[in-house]
Each structure stands twice: as structure tokens, then as C-alpha cells.
Structure 1
């Protein structure tokens, strides 16, 4: 039976310069798992952690990510654990965990391609 809204799920897709660098960043530093790769050489990959999937595709244009706006907001249960992991892995951290005026405690990191990823939970 089809769901009333007809929506199943969504995929965040990040075009990246170097696919292996991005795979290594997400799997080694943030503990995502590589769940799918395609092409020879690989030009598309899917990484996953919990309910979050990120699709990585080899970039084919000169577009760059926003330097000011979050590309992906990941809701987490234990923000201190994620922050500690980012610090220990020397991830590029933009700001420290703080409760914002929108009542979310969050912090931002930057991935190797400059995408801003926010980790947060209810303040």
C-alpha cells in the first residue's frame, strides 16, 4: 500500500573534486560506512551512518559550495561525542557547540570540498 504523501526518502548529493579523499574523510574521520560505489574508476559512492546517507559524485563543473550556508544539517543524539571526535580527527571546525537563538545546540564543520555540515540537537 502506498504512503499517503508518496514520499519515501531523500538523498543528499555532494559533487566532489576527489572521490577517494571524500570517502576517506567521511569513513575515517566521521565513521560513516561506504555502502555503494559505482564506475571504473569509481565516480559515484554512497556513505551512510545511522539514518543519514550522503551520495558523493565526481565533480564535472567548476561550481563551489557556499562559504556561508550549511549544506547538510545532521541531527544527533550526543553532540559532545561528535564534537570530541571531530577535534580528535582534526576536522576543520568552524564553530564550537553552542545553543543558538533557534533553540538548537549545534556546531559546523567543513569537509575537504568546503561543504558546511552542521551537527545539532535540541538545546
Structure 2
């Protein structure tokens, strides 16, 4: 659908997360293969874009894990080639939060954790 259609279209989603040290956060994502715009404070890979803002209220940064459940995530991305992504991110030094596994919903997934404790899950349906 193009912008000339009579209907609006959401092009992509960019969560905004507050962090203690934006430079450190962006360096982490850069080291594991994300494109980083150090001036604007966002990271991007294959359509997953996250915007990071540094906060003075460092004690108020509250990722979902561990406050909710052991498997609570802040962001979840559906991907193709989840096994390859898992091995790539692990080899590049991503901090693994949950290992690659198949869950009861028929999803093969894993998650990583960034320097502020935010967790990002990546999954692929095994039925596709």
C-alpha cells in the first residue's frame, strides 16, 4: 500500500526505552550487529528499530524482567532463520537471557539482555 491510498498505514514500530548510559547501550548493540545512529540514539536491524534515551533517573529504569515473570520480555520480534540469528548473536557476545528452545506454542525462540536489563526475544514458528 502506498501513501497515495485513502487509508493510513503504520510503517514500523519503534519502542522508546530509557537507559542509564546511551553510549554504552549503543556500543553494545553495534557490537552484536545492529546499525546504530549514535547521534539520534537508535538501533536498527532488519526492521526492528529501538530508540534509546538517556535518563537522569537511573533508579527508575524498569525492564519487565525480573519484576513480572522469569520469561517476561520487553520486546519480541518474529524472524526467519532464528537458529542462525541465535548463533550469530551468541558468537558476537550478546548476553543470552534464555537459550534457543521450542516452547509449548510451537515457537522456536531465544532472548538476549542488554546492559540496562532490557530483554529482546526472537522467535520463529516451527509450523511455517
TM-score normalised per structure 2: 0.79
Secondary structure of 2:105's aligned partner: coil
1:66 is matched with which residue? 64
1:84 is matched with which residue? 87
Cα 1:3–1:15 shift into 2, 3 Å: farther
Between Structure 1 and Structure 2, the one with more helix by share is 2
Cα 1:21–1:3 shift into 2, 3 Å: farther
Secondary structure of 1:73's aligned partner: strand
Q: 1:37 aligns with which of 34, 39, 51?
A: 39
What runs of 5+ residues in structure 1 fail to find an aligned partner? 39-44
Cα deviation for residue 7 of structure 1 reads 3.4
Secondary structure of 1:113's aligned partner: coil
- The CA RMSD measured in Å over matched residues stands at 1.9
1:98 is matched with which residue? 101
Question: Are the equivalent residues in 1 in contact too, given 2:26–2:38 (CA < 8 A)?
Answer: no
TM-score normalised per structure 1: 0.81
What runs of 5+ residues in structure 2 fail to find an aligned partner? none
1:52 aligns with 2:48: yes
Cα deviation for residue 121 of structure 1 reads 0.8
Deviation sequence 1:37-78 (CA, Å, 0-9, x none) = 24xxxxxx1111111111011023232212132111122211
- Count residues in correspondence: 116
1:119 aligns with 2:122: yes
Cα deviation for residue 109 of structure 1 reads 1.3
